[in-house]
Amino acid sequence: MKQIVVKPARTFGGAISIPGSKNSSLALMAAACLSDEPVTLKGIPKITDLDVFARIGEDIGLVIYRDEENTALLDPRGIRSAIVDPLRASSFRTAYYFIGALLAKYGKVSMGYPGGDDFVSRPIDQHVKALMAMGAKFVFHTDYYEVECAQLRGADIYFDTISSGATINAMLAAARAAGRTTLRQAARDPEVVDTAQLLVKMGAKIRGAGSDTITIEGVRHLRGCTYTAIPDRLIAGSFLIAAGATNGIVRVNDVIPEHLGSCLAKLREIGMDVEETDYSVTAYASGRLRPTRVRTAMYPGFPTDLQQPLTALLTRVPGTSLIADRIYPKRFQHVPQLNRMGANIDVRSGVARIRGGAPLRGTLVHASDVRAGICLLIAALTAEGTTSIAGVRHIERGYENIAASFRSLGADVTMRDTDDEGAYGFYANAGS
Ligand SMILES: CC(=O)N[C@H]1[C@@H](OP(=O)(O)OP(=O)(O)OC[C@H]2O[C@@H](n3ccc(=O)[nH]c3=O)[C@H](O)[C@@H]2O)O[C@H](CO)[C@@H](O)[C@@H]1O
Ligand SMILES: C=C(OP(=O)(O)O)C(=O)O
């Protein structure tokens, strides 16, 4: 069992280059399956979610070569089956992209239910609705479901709620469907735009990605190309938040500052100094920080994936801050763990009330999901004494070389292997 061991950061800061986005890479790899020729993707991070994707790919005949430079060559010409192992599918979130990517070509896909971070309720009804509108038939079994459609056809789809996953999945399915598909109340996330841009480079006809209405004219063939994933706005945001928590100065390089808009606005609002160039952002706190209110929303709103890291920063800010997560009202598993470290936070009806300023102390805590892990790591940098963070496998779903990247900014963070299952089990539940 791995643990991340964190000692207080006496000084924290420096410059760090941000890798390609996890959430984009997962969609881009799926999009590559739609091609009739090999596709080369650059900026694909070495994270466990992508390892699972690659294993599923191998199972179905997708050939993938990855190199040390984070380039992945995907050759979909050998795909011979669209039956995805249910266990593999349920060990991450986006196996459902294989439906959008394989249905047009293979007519039938068998798939396990999605995993990913567990915020209690993560429905896929909007994926089902969009694919059904295009002619797909679903049969749900206990551990897997089957989707069938001899010929997907374009449709006018009005999403009931804004979903980045459902928007991407529908776009994948529509790229080779017969006729025109219109997606209304579509997600505007950078990862949606990134996927559309790859598909367009492959020869798809897509207009409007980045707005709430996307139109796709289905085409019969898609070609190979070379494409680079956008930088990970969530990793970048986490490092900038860590700067605020530790009184450090951090510059994130190779980012698209526009993608971080709501995060940078919030950091400025609490009193941090934020400087932007075309490809970098520098953040630091030169004075006293102020408490704030945060309400998560779909892009361009404040991302749910950054509310947990921000909670760690707000425990350092004297006064009362409020965080409401409207996207995942139960995404607060990090709170009991922060309270174990001495924080004063209560959660009621999807709103965390953080009474900041109390000193934190290191202890053994458990990361229940990827961003909870980063939240605890940031908190640990500010705590007295040593913190051990269990649940590292969740963090590794989204962060490459997590300990080394924080070390490169001067933090004392190491990865330790322990087989102490008993202690792990006890502390995982304590305080919750
Ligand atoms: C791999 C990936 O890209 N993961 C991101 C993606 O997840 P994911 O794509 O799963 O999240 P969605 O954008 O679909 O979810 C947004 C909201 O829509 C709801 N919903 C979604 C689909 C559906 O069929 N029905 C429905 O009601 C969800 O419960 C949630 O409240 O966006 C989330 C919200 O920004 C992020 O936290 C995840 O990091
Ligand atoms: C929720 C996340 O990931 P996933 O959707 O893959 O579970 C995340 O990256 O914060």
Average of per-residue pLDDT across 321-347: 97
Expressed in angstroms and rounded, the spacing between residue 225 Cα and the centre of ligand 1 is 28
Residue nearest atom 4 in ligand 1 by C-alpha distance? 23
Of all residues in the chain, the percent with pLDDT exceeding 90 is: 90
pLDDT of residue 5: 98
Backbone angles phi, psi at 318, to 5 degrees: -60, 140
78-95: pLDDT as tens digits:
999 899 999 999 888 899
The response to whether residue 188 sits with its C-beta less than 6 Å from ligand 1 reads no
DSSP assignments along 299-354, one per residue? TTSB-HHHHHHHHHHHTTSSEEEEEE-SS-TT--THHHHHHHTT--EEEETTEEEE
Please give the helix or strand (H or E) that residue 280 lies within, else none.
strand 280-284
Expressed in angstroms and rounded, the spacing between residue 162 Cα and the centre of ligand 1 is 8
Average pLDDT along the chain:
94
Ligand 2 atom with minimal separation from the 305 CA: 10
Domains of the chain, with CATH numbers? 2-19+231-429 (3.65.10.10), 22-228 (3.65.10.10)
Ligand 2 atom with minimal separation from the 115 CA: 7
pTM value is 0.95
186-242: pLDDT as tens digits:
999 999 999 999 999 999 999 999 999 999 999 999 999 999 999 999 999 999 999
Rounded CA-CA distance 171/195 in Å is 9
